[in-house]
């Protein structure tokens, strides 16, 4: 029996088995961190969206807004055009109120294209 064990110990085995094209490619650590942070921002944004009213503001932000940063009491929201930026600026009080309701703290909002 010890002979069998010794034979198995000397065989070369791959460190990791992968199915080509089925499993995702390995990502570098920085990319994984960026995706994790964006995932947290997306979850935070969805929480804020639940608290936005009126419905028109909620839909504007749901369809065209994206939370891209949140730190030191400031949130940066990105929209895709200047026209949407002008509309969103008019809705700042609604967005600030939603952050306050969602997290119990005042958050300064910056909206950018």
Q: Are 70 and 103 in contact (CB under 8 A)?
A: no
- Alpha helices, DSSP H only, in 11-77? 29-51, 55-64
Which tens digit of pLDDT belongs to each residue from 89-113? 999 999 999 999 999 999 999 999 9
Residue among 64, 76, 80 at smallest CA distance from 110: 76
Domain positions in the chain:
51-113
Domain 51-113: CATH architecture, name and number where available: 2-Layer Sandwich (3.30)
Q: What is the pTM of this model?
A: 0.72
Kindly state the helix (H) or strand (E) to which residue 69 belongs, with its residue range.
strand 66-71
Which tens digit of pLDDT belongs to each residue from 46-83? 999 999 999 999 999 999 999 999 999 999 999 999 99
Helices 55-64, 82-90: crossing angle, 10 deg rounding: 150
């Amino acid at each position: 029996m010890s002979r069998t064990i010794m034979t198995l110990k000397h065989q070369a085995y791959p460190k990791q088995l992968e199915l080509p094209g089925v499993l995702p490619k390995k990502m570098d650590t920085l990319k994984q961190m960026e995706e994790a942070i964006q995932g947290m921002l997306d979850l935070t944004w969805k929480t804020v969206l639940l608290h936005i009213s009126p419905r028109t503001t909620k839909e504007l932000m749901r369809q065209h807004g994206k939370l891209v940063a949140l730190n030191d009491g400031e949130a940066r929201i990105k929209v895709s055009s200047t026209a949407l930026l002008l509309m969103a600026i008019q809705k700042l009080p609604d967005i600030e109120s939603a952050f306050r309701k969602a997290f119990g703290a005042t958050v300064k909002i910056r909206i950018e294209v």
